[in-house]
């Protein structure tokens, strides 16, 4: 079957160890982490599933592994893991805070042939340091400069909240000056340590206004200004809206990717602490095909509170992690309700 390759990814948290302690971190504090041999077998497990899909369904796939943490560069075997992933046919990327990337580390990352490195930068200096620790801003900038100087494709990611909304324009300009390829924006999910910042999440009006502003940034910037937020995609839509009972875009959880935690726990999304299995104990292909949680994310009739009847459902579905985080704050275990920050309100 010819056509556009199916982009499939696993976001892989190799460790929850970190050299920073960010106020908005969503991690749950798992202590145990898989050893190299366990990770190698787990990569084979995912690779076998993909080979099976390609063979059985005659489909083209573009599989990738996004390695993160904690801080993935704290793993002494990180480059062996990257080598293993490449040998199994995966494109690999790193998601880092950038503070450990000196010249030698940047050179090793380049030699590892990663597709890109995403570095977190959550504001201009005062804001970033208040969120990630004193002195972290300058160390992060040095890491970015070391990567860019060696020709490694580097992207900046910013988690948007009321704490840093005022810095977004300045950060786009800074990203241009640093020479990165792109700057991406995502919403704060109030989970993990970030649950203490729930009052700093954006309102519906603020979300709508921010994505209008993002369009302005994009129109003026010489680098890519983007967001993987499903709500941002709707803000960009013009003309006819694709109609489908199957997901064809939007929230990737259980649709085009999953997360593997440091101890091997599999979850629909990195910010949805909703275990559905363990990569060391199950066939990845069988779990992908049989998980009730994953199937609920794929079916329109599973959703409620207006999301199921919304004309944007197939290309959006809101952020399931934010829906779950807000529901848990009310004592409910509900990941299929409306995204509470959605400004579109279940339009039909």
- For 103-116, what is each residue's pLDDT tens digit? 999 999 999 999 99
Question: Is residue 23 very low, low, confident or very high in pLDDT (cuts 50, 70, 90)?
Answer: low
pLDDT at 26 over 60: no
**Mean pLDDT score of the chain:** 92
Instruction: Quote the pTM value.
Output: 0.94
- Percent of the chain whose predicted confidence (pLDDT) is above 70: 93
Sign of CA dihedral 168, 172, 173, 174: positive
pLDDT of 50: 96
Q: Which of the pair, 228 or 223, is modelled with greater confidence?
A: 223
Q: Quote the tokens at residue 319.
A: 């952020």
Residues 6+ apart with CB under 8 A from 214: 185, 225, 227, 232, 235
pLDDT tens-digit readout, 186-214: 999 998 777 788 899 999 999 999 999 99
pLDDT of 252: 95
pLDDT of 340: 95
pLDDT tens-digit readout, 165-187: 999 999 999 999 999 999 999 99
Q: Cβ–Cβ contacts within 10 Å for residue 318, how many?
A: 29
pLDDT of 91: 98
Question: Is residue 3 very low, low, confident or very high in pLDDT (cuts 50, 70, 90)?
Answer: low
Average pLDDT over residues 17-43: 79
pLDDT of 2: 56
Average pLDDT over residues 4-14: 93
Q: Which of the pair, 32 or 180, is modelled with greater confidence?
A: 180
H or E segment and range at residue 142? helix 136-149
pLDDT at 242 over 90: no
pLDDT at 19 over 80: no
Q: Quote the tokens at residue 150.
A: 């060696």
Which domains occur in the chain, in start order?
A: 6-301 (3.20.20.70)
pLDDT of 31: 73
Contact indicator for 135, 129 with CB cutoff of 8 Å: yes
Helices 103-111, 136-149: inter-axial angle, 10-degree rounding:
50
pLDDT at 128 over 50: yes
pLDDT tens-digit readout, 93-106: 999 999 999 999 99
pLDDT of 1: 47
pLDDT of 278: 98
Token match 């209008």: residue?
A: 212
Of the listed ranges 27-41, 207-221, 249-263, 287-301, the one predicted with least confidence: 27-41
Average pLDDT over residues 127-145: 95
Contact indicator for 61, 8 with CB cutoff of 8 Å: yes
């Amino acid at each position: 079957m010819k056509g556009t390759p199916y982009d499939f990814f696993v976001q892989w948290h190799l460790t929850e160890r970190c050299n920073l302690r960010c106020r908005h971190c969503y991690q749950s504090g798992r202590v145990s982490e898989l050893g190299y041999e366990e990770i190698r077998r787990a990569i084979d497990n995912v690779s076998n599933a993909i080979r099976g899909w390609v063979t059985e369904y005659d489909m083209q796939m573009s599989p990738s592994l996004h390695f993160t943490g904690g801080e993935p560069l704290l793993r002494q075997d990180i480059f062996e893991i990257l080598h293993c992933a490449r040998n199994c046919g995966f494109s690999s990327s790193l998601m880092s805070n950038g503070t450990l990337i000196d010249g030698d580390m940047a050179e090793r990352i380049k030699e590892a042939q990663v597709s890109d490195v995403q570095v977190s930068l959550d504001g201009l200096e005062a804001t970033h340091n208040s969120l990630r620790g004193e002195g972290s801003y300058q160390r992060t900038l040095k890491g970015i400069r070391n990567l860019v100087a060696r020709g490694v494709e580097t992207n900046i990611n910013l988690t948007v909240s009321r704490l840093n909304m005022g810095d977004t324009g300045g950060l786009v300009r800074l990203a241009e000056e640093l020479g990165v390829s792109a700057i991406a924006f995502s919403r704060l999910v109030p989970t993990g340590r970030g649950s203490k910042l729930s009052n700093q999440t954006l309102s519906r009006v603020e979300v709508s206004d921010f994505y209008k502003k993002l369009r302005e940034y994009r129109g003026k910037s010489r680098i890519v200004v983007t967001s993987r937020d499903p709500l941002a995609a709707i803000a960009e839509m013009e003309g006819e809206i694709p109609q489908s009972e199957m997901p064809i875009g939007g929230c990737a959880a259980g649709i085009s990717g999953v997360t593997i935690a440091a101890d091997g726990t599999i979850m629909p999304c990195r910010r949805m602490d909703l275990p559905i299995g363990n990569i060391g104990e199950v066939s990845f292909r069988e779990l992908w095909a049989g998980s009730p949680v994953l199937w609920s994310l794929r079916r329109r009739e599973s959703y409620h509170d207006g999301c199921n009847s919304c004309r944007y459902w197939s290309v959006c579905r809101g952020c399931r992690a934010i829906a779950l985080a807000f529901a848990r704050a009310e004592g409910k275990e509900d990941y299929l309700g409306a995204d509470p920050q959605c400004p579109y309100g279940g339009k039909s």
